[in-house]
Amino acid sequence: MQTETFALRRFSKFLCLLTLGLIFLGALVKSTDSGLSVPDWPTTYGKFIYAYPLNKMYGGIKFEQTHRLLASLVGMLTLLLTIWLLRVRDMPLWVRRWGIFAFVAVVLQGVLGGLGVIYFLPVWLTSLHGVLAQTFLLILIFIAYALSAERHQRGKTQEEGHDGTFLKPALFLMAMIYIQLIIGNVVRHSGSGLAVPDFPTMGWKLIPTFDAAWLHRINAWRFEHNMDPVTMAQVCIHLLHRFWAFLIVISLLWTNKIAYDRCLKNAVIMKTLYWLNIAIILQVVLGASTVLSHEEVYTTTLHVTTGAIVLTLSFIMVLRSAPIKWKQFKSLVFAK
């Protein structure tokens, strides 16, 4: 039993890492505009996905087909995880249910990806596809943590340093980051990534004016760089992404202060917060670099992937700062 549990723990963590790699590949597909390089689904140019010749995987097809192959692998391994969770004796019912949720999510993710191809990548559908990818990753992380030795050990010991004073800001920060990823997906899939092409200024102004002359100046720059004009709505979406990033940094500073006041004795939480700080700093740098490099492919792709890492770390921090019993969690979160 212990050997099986150990193997299941390792497998769940491996699937989390593989899903992060899938998010990287998905971002690379978008960054290289390869989304319609394979124009049919579920087949690849009329062939079964695994029967498509490797020597024909060039250009955008290489990125899109590799993304599909890895996605199918993640789907099959998620099914294996679900079956494994259902078959293990003494596995808590709620963990089994989350295994089923994971499988439903990965199937829905695949369907959304396919529909995006069939309907020529509408903004709302491709954005939903991107958001669900991040949500699916969170589900897998939750399962992996539920199976972890750390959580098992916490169930045997008297926990210290876990209270609503830190849990609430940790939850708030995670919610802010999740909303930012939704905004970021809309920015990417609506073509708003360079709607404001300068940084740290905005349309070459410290304070944007949101008038016709200001928008004309932005579009004049885009014309000089062989880019299509943008609308004021696209500019506002872009600036909302920047503004929300600023709010996240403020929320992070607030979370740091509370952690240093309340959780210095809890090395696990402090270590997670340390890496979260590093990841958010890196994410801000990558965001600025994405604009300044005019959306260079790998800079933009790393920006998306690091966003997933930031969300992951914020969720792990919530899991580590929350009580392991649901009733205690609710009483802390909703306590006045």
Query: Which pLDDT score is estimated for 160?
Result: 52
Residue in 35, 37, 44, 106 with CA at minimum distance from that of residue 74 = 106
* CA dihedral of 271, 25, 295, 57, whole degrees rounded to 10: 160
Say which DSSP state 158 is in: -
Q: SS3 of 330, please? A: helix
What pLDDT does 158 receive? 57
Distance CA 192, CA 114 (A): 23
Alpha helices, DSSP H, located in 148-266: 149-154, 164-189, 212-224, 232-262
Provide φ and ψ at 44, rounded to 5°.
-120, 105
What is the residue-wise DSSP string for 134-154? HHHHHHHHHHHHHHSHHHHHH
| Tens place of pLDDT per residue across the chain (336 aa) | 567 788 999 999 999 999 999 999 999 999 999 999 999 999 999 999 999 999 999 999 999 999 999 999 999 999 999 999 999 988 999 999 999 999 999 999 999 999 999 999 999 999 999 999 999 999 999 999 999 999 988 877 755 545 678 999 999 999 999 999 999 999 999 999 999 999 999 999 999 999 999 999 999 999 999 999 999 999 999 999 999 999 999 999 999 999 999 888 889 999 999 999 999 999 999 999 999 999 999 999 999 999 999 999 999 999 999 998 888 888 888 866
Angle (CA) 168-171-173 rounded to 5° is 110
pLDDT at res. 265: 87
User: Whole-model pTM?
Assistant: 0.95
What pLDDT sits at residue 163? 63
What's the token pair of residue 141? 């992380």
Which element (helix H / strand E) includes 106? helix 93-118
Contacts of 242 (CB under 8 A, 6+ apart): 196, 202, 287
- The Cα–Cα gap between 332 and 326 comes to 10
